[in-house]
Amino acid sequence: MRGGKIEAFSLCRPFGRGHVIGPVVAAGDEDAIAVVHPHATRHAASSYGSTPPKKNGMFSEFLSRCGLPAYDTSTTMLLGDVGSLCSR
């Protein structure tokens, strides 16, 4: 929460003999780490690998340190004007 507004969230649910963390909705790596960290620390031994938006970067490195290596990458979904993102 930032300024009374939800800025990021993640879900964690049972899956097979462990847990799956996702989806993760966040504007950037820092927010993604903040909302995944509680799930990753609680279920690190029973969680499965991950599919971050890219295999390199702060979020992917965090997942790897938690024992959740990236097996593949996921599709990044956006809401809003994609053109404004291209100019960043």
Interval 14-73: pLDDT, tens: 888 888 888 888 888 899 999 999 998 887 666 665 666 666 788 888 888 888 766 666
Per-domain boundaries in the chain: 27-39+46-76
Q: What is the pLDDT of residues 73-85, one digit of tens each?
A: 666 666 666 555 5
Residues 6+ apart with CB under 8 A from 10: 21, 22, 23, 24, 25, 26, 32, 35, 36, 39
Angstrom CA distances, 6 to 9, 19, 50, stand at 8, 24, 23
Check residue 38 and give its pLDDT.
92
Looking at the DSSP assignment, which residues form a beta bridge with residue 19? 14, 47
pTM assigned to the model: 0.73
Check residue 9 and give its pLDDT.
93
Angstrom CA distances, 86 to 32, 34, 46, stand at 21, 26, 38
